[in-house]
Structure 1
Amino acid sequence: MLKALVIVCILLPLAELYLLITLGHHIGLGATLGLLAASAVLGSLIARKQGEKVFRNWREAMGGGGVPEEGLLNGVLVLVGGALLIAPGFISDVMGLLLMVPPVRRVVTARVRRSLEQTLMSGSVRFTQVGPVPGEDPFLDARRFDSQEPAAKVEPSEDGSSTFRRPRSEGGEVDAEFTSDEEPRG
């Protein structure tokens, strides 16, 4: 899947460039640039309308206490289709327009979902929990530091500069001083 994506990312711009140059030779530079501008404007309008429809359906379903009929992946495909429509090039415009058609989006969503499920079932991707362990107090670490003294004390010296002192601890650490040669900002 990743190899195919890399190949598409390399070949698509080359094919777009070839098509633009060929079209420019046949209909002229001005007409080609006009078509590109018109497709970008039209594409952004279509993407906006479809995006609003998807998010409106999500809001209505969530407001009614249900799960949206169109999943998150459907919304992502609308965003990708919108980006393809706005990007210069006619091949990307066709791909973006296809992603704006709901039946095509459903087919692509089903295929991507199947591919993700196969990848997860194969064991090649693992999920690791980041954050607190279920059943333990998530604020335990924060409370552990409440009773300790501050990590550094700021002591003004006679010449007006500030000296930062780290308190001595039992771990064999060395007490150190850091001074600044800067003028006080006071």
Structure 2
Amino acid sequence: MFRILFFLIIVISAVEIALFVWLGNVFNVWFVLFGIILTGLAGAYLAKYQGTDTLNRARFELSHGRAPTDEILDGIAILVGAVLLFTPGFVTDTIGFLLLIPQTRKPAKIYIRKIVSEMFRKGSIKVFRNY
């Protein structure tokens, strides 16, 4: 897992740098800098709005005696999306925005649920109950 993550970090960084250089040559450096700042600000606002909404839905579910499973998955996706938006780059910003928009977040939630279910099945995750 570490090797895959390390490889992805190197590849994504190289793609981001190449994209910065290409866009800087096509438009200009100020356009690239403005784009980085604008996506960071828009992402911070969207992450705050989506995070607050998810927290309120989780509170509602808990107050009615239900487990907020979808809200927890939404929270994970929002957290990852916000971190990606604070990372300078247009590829990471695109992935971050996709994780922050509720309609495009659904495939990520399905994937996360599949991974967690597989980890439960394999025994990688253990549940301890206090009775």
Shorter-normalised TM-score: what interval? 0.7 to 0.9
Structure 1 match to 2:38: 38
Structure 1 match to 2:83: 83
Distance 1:4 1:116 in 2: 19
Structure 2 match to 1:13: 13
Length-normalised TM-score, structure 1 = 0.62
Distance 2:127 2:97 in 1: 37
Length-normalised TM-score, structure 2 = 0.84
Structure 1: which 5+ residue stretches go unaligned?
136-186
Residue identity (%): 25
Distance 1:69 1:128 in 2: 15
Deviation string for 1:7-66 (max 9, x for gaps)? 222211111111011111111111211111111111111111111111111111112222
Q: Is the alpha carbon distance of 1:32 and 1:75 closer, same or farther for their aligned partners in structure 2, counting shifts above 3 Å?
A: same
Distance 1:128 1:119 in 2: 12
For the 8 Å contact 1:40–1:86, the answer to whether it is kept is yes
More strand by share: 1
The alignment yields a C-alpha RMSD, in angstroms, of 2.3
Distance 2:21 2:30 in 1: 12
Q: Higher RCO, 1 or 2 (CA under 8 Å, sep at least 6)?
A: 2
Q: Is the alpha carbon distance of 1:29 and 1:95 closer, same or farther for their aligned partners in structure 2, counting shifts above 3 Å?
A: same
More helix by share: 2
Distance 1:25 1:126 in 2: 49
Distance 2:65 2:113 in 1: 24
The residue type equivalent to 2:46 in the other structure is I
Structure 2 match to 1:121: 121
* Displacement after TM superposition at 1:110 (Å): 1.6
For the 8 Å contact 2:119–2:125, the answer to whether it is kept is no
Secondary structure in 2 matching 1:66: coil
Distance 1:9 1:37 in 2: 22
* Displacement after TM superposition at 1:106 (Å): 2.4
Secondary structure in 2 matching 1:70: helix
* Displacement after TM superposition at 1:96 (Å): 0.5
Structure 2: which 5+ residue stretches go unaligned?
none
**Residue 54 in structure 1 maps to residue 54 in structure 2:** yes
The residue type equivalent to 1:13 in the other structure is S
Structure 1 match to 2:22: 22
Distance 2:9 2:73 in 1: 21
For the 8 Å contact 1:47–1:100, the answer to whether it is kept is yes
